[in-house]
Structure 1
């Protein structure tokens, strides 16, 4: 029992039809329409070398046209792929810069927070002050100072 032939993709069927048409037209041109009728009747059609070459040239012309079309599609695909690769690399670079900026901002915030430490004078166990704000203002700035409060608000907003 023979297995049925697998279905051919539409493109392959179209190409096969183009080859068949090229051969038919070449045979009709070289041998005349009667040669095709003989072939359709199942009778042998004899071709000399020149006639066979004409049919082969017709097939090769279809193949060359298909190869040209495939080359164009491949070139377009390669250009699209290169553009996508450039876009991806650009996005990667952008992400790296954004990560570096984020890390710099976090480091700066940590340094600012380290400056604004909680401080309590010896013997005073009820009031806390900001060590940095007291140094630069000459006054007694309660802790958490406005800077620390702003940092805490920012940290709370960033967490949500």
Structure 2
């Protein structure tokens, strides 16, 4: 049976390479991104790769693309708007264990809701810290660490992320 499974995986991988010029994980080969999103209750037209880690309460609007290997931490509440692009490797948090760790468990885990507006682009491998709000039509550059709110229509990048200009539409 294992050999049969490997043969199926190879055939699916070749088909994906020929059609889309990409390789994906086995889970992403055999699942439908739009069906995944529907099963999570995400908005119409949204898609979510099988390799996405989803924790807690995560709400996603319509026509939002969530790329591979993303972490969506909704343990403190996470809302993502419509028409967003959450690129590969992005991590969005709504809790952390810093105080619990440094106090040897005497303090609780910290939770704070995180919100991503409509029409937001978050570049690959960016990290959005707990409690951050990102306004509508903002752009987060690749590999940015966002630890404070981002106003609507602004471009930010860096570590920590800083406003670098306005989004041009």
TM-score (normalizing by structure 2): 0.18
Structure with greater proportional helix content = 1
Structure with greater proportional strand content = 2
Larger radius of gyration: 1
